[in-house]
């Protein structure tokens, strides 16, 4: 059985960075194979993983209107194109959702794509979904069963409050989530007492578990400036070790 871990958080919290660190941890601890799904319309997870994107799922959905051969069923066509869109790397594969579709009804495309994705995910030990803040992509793709929802906040009261609002979306989107976690990213070396108190209050109020604080990292800043994949960070880098401890805590909860 594969484990699905979905990440969400408002823009600027470092959610995609956390996704890449999670994939790095899964790779280094042998929890493979991994399927990474970049479900954020502002897709850039591939850059942090060091792979190139040629085809997105959004482009495949657009093709359903004009590119399906008369001799091929729609379901067979979309399954074929989905397999072509998979970016294969050592230990993990990546699928990119891409930009939202244009005007018109895409109900059939969503249905075919959901079925094909569901079948594909069964072949992976872990599925990591880097999602937009609103989590609508999870609902659109029928990705309703999630083992861990990791909500990423920055180290501010407003960010933590927004994280709580994201957790509130689970019920209206009818998502089945095992555990909802809160991770405060880019935290200072010394955590202000008022912030820590507010974090724990929001977690208690929204039914989230507090995963911990991930400190601000010069190594990540340098990697981003130099446009280096985070998978290339040495295993003994402080942020890699700290993140790994937090991820192990999360994964053991679902063991």
Judge residue 216's burial from the number of C-beta atoms within 10 Å of its C-beta, 0-12 exposed, 13-18 middle, 19 or more buried.
middle
**Are 94 and 46 spatial neighbours (Cβ–Cβ below 8 Å)?**
yes
Could you tell me the fold of the domain covering 3-253?
Answer: Rossmann fold (3.40.50)
pLDDT by residue for the chain (255 residues), tens only, comes to: 789 999 999 888 999 999 999 999 999 999 999 999 998 777 799 999 999 998 888 788 777 777 778 788 877 887 888 888 899 999 999 998 876 555 544 455 556 667 777 888 889 999 999 987 767 666 666 666 899 999 999 999 999 999 999 999 888 888 889 999 999 999 999 999 999 999 999 999 999 999 999 999 999 999 999 999 999 999 999 999 999 999 999 999 855
Judge residue 186's burial from the number of C-beta atoms within 10 Å of its C-beta, 0-12 exposed, 13-18 middle, 19 or more buried.
buried
Q: Does the CA dihedral 13-14-19-25 come out positive or negative?
A: negative
Q: Cα(first)–Cα(last) distance of the chain, in Å?
A: 11
Torsion of CA 131, 10, 185, 36, to 10 degrees: 10
Ranges assigned E (strand) in the chain: 3-8, 34-39, 87-88, 92-96, 126-131, 145-153, 176-187, 209-215
**Are 223 and 216 spatial neighbours (Cβ–Cβ below 8 Å)?**
no
């Amino acid at each position: 059985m594969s484990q699905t871990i979905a990440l969400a958080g408002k823009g600027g919290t470092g959610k995609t960075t956390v996704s890449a660190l999670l994939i790095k941890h899964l790779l280094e601890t042998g929890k493979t194979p991994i399927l990474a799904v970049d479900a954020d319309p502002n897709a850039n997870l591939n850059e942090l993983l060091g792979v190139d994107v040629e085809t997105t799922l959004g482009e495949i959905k657009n093709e359903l209107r004009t590119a399906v051969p008369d001799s091929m069923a729609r379901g067979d066509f979309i399954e074929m194109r989905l397999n072509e869109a998979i970016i294969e790397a050592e230990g993990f594969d990546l699928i990119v959702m891409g930009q939202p579709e244009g005007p018109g009804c895409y109900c059939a495309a969503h249905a075919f794509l959901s079925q094909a994705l569901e079948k594909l995910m069964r072949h992976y030990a872990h599925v990591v979904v880097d999602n937009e803040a609103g989590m609508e992509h999870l609902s659109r793709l029928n990705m309703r069963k999630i083992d861990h929802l990791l909500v990423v906040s920055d180290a501010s009261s407003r960010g933590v409050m927004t994280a709580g609002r994201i957790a509130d979306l689970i019920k209206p989107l009818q998502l089945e989530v095992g555990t909802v976690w809160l991770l405060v990213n880019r935290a200072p070396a010394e955590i202000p007492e008022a912030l820590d108190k507010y974090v724990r209050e929001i977690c208690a109020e929204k039914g989230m578990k507090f995963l911990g604080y991930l400190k601000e990292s010069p190594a990540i800043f340098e990697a981003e400036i130099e446009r280096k994949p985070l998978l290339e960070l040495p295993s003994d880098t402080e942020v890699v070790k700290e993140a790994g401890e937090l991820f192990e805590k999360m994964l053991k909860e679902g063991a």
